[in-house]
């Protein structure tokens, strides 16, 4: 059993899944996060709580240094390549695994200026860099020559949970959604990057055009408060508040039910990595309306598992909604074609084995 130190945002549901894969191989997981959050069978570490938010921010890198010296981890796994002020304290440790997320290595999101320098320093130090797609491989190549370090890890989804045949009537009852209503689902973070305001305008256009009755479900994970308030006011101003359900920060355990309920899942960010949203929706038989971004090439098939639209074009999104509404047979096709793709490329069991294989290789190398 090895001591594996995870450095990741413990508020992120995806980070929570990825950080714990070492437990399947019997490793002891230590998790450094700000704020510190306790999980079963995990030793939680972080900045002192007595200093408030400012104190945690100021003491965070020192707390990390102390944690590393106290634990003496056998392996450090960093989830997100820009670790800010923590970066210098990570540049002298092996083995080091860095998992890129997307925005952390894309210059049109966050990887520019000082961030780009920190990212490059950490990637140069890493023994292994995990990447989810060819697009992210290319982004890494623009930062440095990491070809020999990069390993394809999609992390995957739990196909026992994400499936089309889930019982979803309780969601219809909870949110007053008629069995006759189509359901469009927007699962992404409540940040301006994800163009939720454009989705609301598109939905208003769809309703005005007289399409089949529908409900739009809007998740508000890790919401920017001012943006979330603006969205709710916008729904009122557009006159569609009665047809929109703002469902707050959904528990990850309930996400498969929402995907299984949704006739279409809508995700139209201006930029992206390769979100688990795509795999999760496909595994549950939900058709996708996606931004026309190169990140998704080769993963979804136009007109079969997805429609691609310009991310800022509300009219194009509304047309895609109407196209989906006119084709009820899409769900069955996605449930077959899309799920088959996920089974091949993003089965969590296979991906967990792969990550633990990477851990084992690095642990053997540095033990020698």
Q: What is the per-residue pLDDT across 70-94, written as a single tens digit (0 to 9) for each? A: 999 999 999 999 999 999 999 989 9
114 band by pLDDT with thresholds 50, 70 and 90: confident
Write the pLDDT tens digit of every residue in 116-154: 899 999 999 999 999 999 999 999 999 999 999 999 999
Residue ranges covered by each domain of the chain:
3-156+347-367, 169-345
Other beta carbons within 10 angstroms of residue 91's beta carbon come to 12
Query: CA 96, CA 71: separation in Å to the nearest integer?
Result: 15
Chain mean position to CA 259: 15
Lowest mean per-residue pLDDT among 24-28, 254-258, 328-332: 328-332
CB-count burial class (<10 Å; 0-12, 13-18, 19+) for 193: middle
Q: What is the mean pLDDT of the chain?
A: 92
CATH tag, 3-156+347-367:
3.40.50.2000
Nearest to 17 by CA among 127, 156, 121: 156
Peptide bond into 77 cis (omega under 30): no
Question: What pTM was computed for the model?
Answer: 0.87
Same fold, 3-156+347-367 and 169-345: yes
Lowest mean per-residue pLDDT among 40-54, 87-101, 192-206: 40-54
pLDDT of 180: 94
Contact residues for 233 (Cβ-Cβ < 8 A; gap 6+): none
Superfamily of domain 169-345: Glycogen Phosphorylase B; (3.40.50.2000)
Tokens 């796994």, located at residue: 77
The region, left, alpha or beta by phi > 0 then psi within -120 to 50, assigned to residue 257 is alpha
51 band by pLDDT with thresholds 50, 70 and 90: low
> Considering the chain, what percentage of its residues have pLDDT values greater than 90?
76
Crossing angle of helices 114-125 and 134-143, rounded to 10°: 100
- Residue 233 DSSP SS3: helix
Lowest mean per-residue pLDDT among 45-54, 261-270, 284-293: 45-54
Other beta carbons within 10 angstroms of residue 194's beta carbon come to 26
**Complete edge-to-edge strand list for the sheet that includes strand 214-218:** 244-246, 214-218, 182-186, 264-267, 287-291, 306-309
pLDDT above 70 (res 346): yes
pLDDT above 70 (res 55): no
Angstrom CA distances, 240 to 203, 205, 236, stand at 8, 10, 6
15 band by pLDDT with thresholds 50, 70 and 90: confident
288 band by pLDDT with thresholds 50, 70 and 90: very high
59 band by pLDDT with thresholds 50, 70 and 90: confident
Lowest mean per-residue pLDDT among 63-67, 95-99, 203-207: 63-67
């Amino acid at each position: 059993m090895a001591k594996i130190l995870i450095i990741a945002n413990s508020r992120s549901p995806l980070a929570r899944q990825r950080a714990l894969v070492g437990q399947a191989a019997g490793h002891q997981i230590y998790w450094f996060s700000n704020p510190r959050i306790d999980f079963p069978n995990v030793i939680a570490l972080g900045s002192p709580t007595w200093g408030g938010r400012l104190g945690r921010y100021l003491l965070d890198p020192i707390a990390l240094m102390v944690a590393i010296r106290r634990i003496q981890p056998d392996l450090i796994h960093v989830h997100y390549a820009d670790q800010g002020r923590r970066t210098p304290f990570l540049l002298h440790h092996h083995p080091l695994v860095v998992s890129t997320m997307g925005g952390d290595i894309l210059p049109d999101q966050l990887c520019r200026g000082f961030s780009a320098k920190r990212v490059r320093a950490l990637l140069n130090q890493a023994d292994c860099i995990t990447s989810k797609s060819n697009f992210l491989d290319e982004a890494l190549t623009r930062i440095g020559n990491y070809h020999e370090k990069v390993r394809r890890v999609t992390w995957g989804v739990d196909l026992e949970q994400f499936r089309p045949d889930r019982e979803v009537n309780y969601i219809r009852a909870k949110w007053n959604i008629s069995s006759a209503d189509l359901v469009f689902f927007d699962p992404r973070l409540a940040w301006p990057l994800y163009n939720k305001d454009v989705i609301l305008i598109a939905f208003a256009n769809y309703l005005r055009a007289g399409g089949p009755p529908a409900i739009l479900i809007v998740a508000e994970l890790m919401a920017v408060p001012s943006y979330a308030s603006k969205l709710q006011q916008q729904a009122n101003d557009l006159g569609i508040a009665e047809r929109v359900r703002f469902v707050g920060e959904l528990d990850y355990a309930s996400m498969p039910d929402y995907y299984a309920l949704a006739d279409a899942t809508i995700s139209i960010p201006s930029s992206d990595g390769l979100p688990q949203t795509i795999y999760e929706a496909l595994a549950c038989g939900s058709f996708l309306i996606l931004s026309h971004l190169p990140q998704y090439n080769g993963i979804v098939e136009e007109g079969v598992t997805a429609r691609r639209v310009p991310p800022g074009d509300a009219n194009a999104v509304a047309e895609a909604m109407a196209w989906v509404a006119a084709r009820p047979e899409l769900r069955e096709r996605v449930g077959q074609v899309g799920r088959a793709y996920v089974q091949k490329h993003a089965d969590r069991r296979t991906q967990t084995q792969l990550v633990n294989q990477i851990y084992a290789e690095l642990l053997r190398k540095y033990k020698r």
